């Protein structure tokens, strides 16, 4: 199993404000990248992230929502009480599992992650939720791509793929 965290953040690691993404709808290149990267793979998210997405499963992905509440069935969504419960399902596979938010799930998953797919939105937005800081000494930039501001992307974007350094 490969554990990958995928997130978009502003220049100060802000990822959300009042359960919304501040740049939502303003950077379609990032949404295309997210869809392309996660399509066909399991995605793991916290309950607030799931609710912020309208309480609907992402299509063509196996969706896991982490929640402490006992849940009634949600169409096309599996619930789990802990991240480890989901990761245990895939530990003996070649599957790439994506953590897609929110902040608490990112914080819990970061020490276990093999890869980070990070989009940096070129701006500073009002935020109350942040992606955890990672230690640069533990990661190497495997790929970097820049998308300039345009009529469709209202902010410039920097796409980073970071891989954990091996001992």
* pLDDT at residue 167 tops 90: no
Buried b (16+ CB within 10 A) or exposed e, 48-76: bbbebbeeebbeebbbbbbbeeeeeeeee
Nearest to 163 by CA among 144, 132, 145, 138: 138
Domains annotated for the chain, with CATH where assigned, are: 2-164 (3.40.430.10)
* Stated pTM of the model: 0.96
pLDDT (0 to 100) of residue 164: 98
pLDDT at 71: 66
Residues 86-110: pLDDT tens digits?
A: 999 999 999 999 999 999 999 999 9
């Amino acid at each position: 199993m490969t554990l990958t965290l995928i997130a978009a953040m502003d220049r100060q690691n802000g990822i959300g404000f009042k359960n919304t993404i501040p740049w939502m709808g303003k950077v379609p290149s990032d949404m295309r990248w997210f869809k392309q990267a996660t399509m066909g793979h399991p995605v793991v998210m916290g309950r607030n992230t799931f609710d912020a997405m309208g309480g609907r499963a992402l299509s063509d992905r196996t969706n896991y929502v982490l929640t402490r509440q006992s849940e009634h069935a949600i169409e096309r969504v599996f619930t789990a009480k802990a991240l480890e419960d989901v990761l245990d399902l895939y530990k003996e596979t070649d599957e790439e599992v994506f953590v897609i938010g929110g902040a608490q799930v990112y914080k819990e998953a970061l020490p276990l992650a093999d890869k980070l797919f990070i989009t940096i939105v070129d701006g500073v937005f009002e935020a109350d939720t942040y992606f955890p800081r990672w230690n640069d000494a533990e990661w190497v930039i495997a790929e970097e791509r820049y998308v300039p501001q345009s009529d469709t992307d209202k902010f410039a974007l920097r796409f980073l793929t970071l891989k954990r350094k091996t001992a």
